[in-house]
Amino acid sequence: MEFATFILAAQRGYHQSSESVIRNSIEQAVASEQAGFNTAWFAEHHFNNYSLIPSPLMMVAHCGGLTSTIRLGTAVCVLPLYQPQRLLSEIGFADIVANGRLELGVGLGYQQFEFERFGVDIDEAPAVFSEYLDIILKGLNQNVFEHDGQYEKIPPTAISVRTVQQPTPPIWIAGGAARMARAYREGHNFFVTAFHDGLETLTTLRESVERAAASEEKNVTDVKISLLRCC
């Protein structure tokens, strides 16, 4: 078992400036390394004070220069809100400046008001996520890639900023049963969340994980599972 810190960067009152919240979050990442945590994860949210981190990759890049051993992860990059071609270069850049310590978490998002303000249809988020993840995997694994999909049509394209970790950084997927099954099918890791809930929720989560593994004829332990708990 490994222990990690999930850094939300919440502004708990307007007596806190955004600068103080961000600087405290950076300090928390540094302290997590000193305390022996394996990974510091950074959230992504927009247009509210629930979380003040608009780009977890920017936090990875910055904290990469302040730490030396702790893994630094995105939890998560909300794929439907990105242009995947640009995101590929930013992933490569973050892994370089973090000296190969990037953990790449991706998800489809859930807050409708965020999607509305980006002009993205949240009802299409699962399909967009699936296609954008296809693009990310192509771009990370191929020196030159192309894509002809429902949402993106990309001619032969080279991503010059390549990740240090080859062929890719560890990839983590957030979401429900369909995303769990894909994780097992393709060998990715995934996140599950129980927040403050008790053993009944944990039992339900375990059953969901077991079903996802069985659906792909895999063992439950074939991938890493990260459980988020509030404490």
Residues 6 or more apart whose CB falls under 8 angstroms from that of 76 comprise 43, 44, 56, 105, 106, 107, 172, 174, 191
Average pLDDT on 81-88 reads 98
d(CA 58, CA 80): 18
Element (H, E) at 80: none
Average pLDDT on 199-225 reads 96
Structure confidence at residue 230 (pLDDT): 87
pTM, 2 dp: 0.97
CA dihedral over 82, 85, 88, 94, signed as positive or negative? negative
Reported confidence tier of residue 197, pLDDT bands at 50, 70, 90: confident
Reported confidence tier of residue 196, pLDDT bands at 50, 70, 90: confident
Phi and psi, residue 154, nearest 5°:
-120, 120
Instruction: Give 20-77 pLDDT, tens digit per residue.
Output: 999 999 999 999 999 999 999 999 999 999 999 999 999 999 999 999 999 999 999 9
Domain 4-174, what architecture? Alpha-Beta Barrel (3.20)
Alpha carbon of 24 to those of 18, 27, 28, 74, 230: distances in Å? 10, 5, 6, 18, 18
d(CA 169, CA 71): 11
Q: How many CB atoms lie within 10 A of CB 88?
A: 23
